[in-house]
Amino acid sequence: MHQNETDRIDEFIDSLHHLSPLTRKAYRRDLNVLTEFCDLETIEYWRELDGRRLRGFVAWRHRRGIGGRSLQRNLSAIRAFYRFLLEAGVVSLNPAQGIFPPKSPRHLPRVLDADQTARLVEIREDDVLAIRDKAILELMYSSGLRLAEVVGLNRANLDLADAIVTVTGKGRKTRSVPIGRHAISALKQWLKSRQGLVSDDETAVFVSRRGKRIAPRTIQLRLKQWAIRQGLSCHVHPHMLRHSFASHLLESSGDLRAVQELLGHADISTTQVYTHLDFQHLARVYDDAHPRAKRKKADF
């Protein structure tokens, strides 16, 4: 593909200033893979990529072990890119329109049970980083926040008096979520300790030892370390706390719509995955408790 054609990707990415840096990076990665495919197929210009060839791209990616969800994201990036090219008058059609990836089996998210979660957040050390980490874990579990939402949280977003945190989630959508009393207590302790690390103009709630906004990778690594130190046998990642929040809340309340609002899901079908987790829990209780739940082996 000619250089001036690949330059279109740079122009497109520059136009996505309303999206998060992570989303822009993912779009560029997806379009770079598409460029690699075009080079292999000797497709010289973006206008030469039609629906038949794009289906070939999807099949090519699928043969390389790329799952349905990743292919769906690939196609979303391509659709957005071609909308940009259409507006610029570079192409006359969007080849990604009406093309869908193969379906992947839906995997249920892994969650911690209530006892495991309580053990994880019961951090008793009192050094500044331990105090910070406890506040992060309590807040993520209390309010079901995404990793990016925690990292991007500013001091002005916290209203501890009214027990509310306001976050900006996917698609730049803002939502307000309640904060539990344990999280409020941990946050108050952290905000006192934070004063000794930050300058007056630092807006981030969670900062590193150097007083700058904490990096996502730092939270991932610290959470992994705490899970080991607190005696959890499974691998724990930040999104597992969000899954646990949703599963435990739905298990207790049965209110799917409320959980959808708290998680900030645009589509309730995304939230419905937690109903399967809830059913699994009920099935285990049934198997353990009901006298006729399991068949006895025949005595021949």
Please list the active-site residues: 146, 170, 239, 242, 265, 274
Rounded Cα distance between 267 and 251, Å, is: 20
**Residue 141 burial (CB < 10 Å; 0-12/13-18/19+)?**
buried
Rounded Cα distance between 34 and 28, Å, is: 10
Q: What number of CA atoms fall less than 13 Å from residue 68's CA on the CB side? A: 9
Which residue type does 126 have?
Answer: D
Give the CA-trace dihedral at 229, 232, 235, 240, to 10 degrees: -110
User: Taking a C-beta distance cutoff of 8 angstroms, is the pair 247, 262 a contact?
Assistant: no
Closest CA to 158 of 182, 129, 132, 191: 191
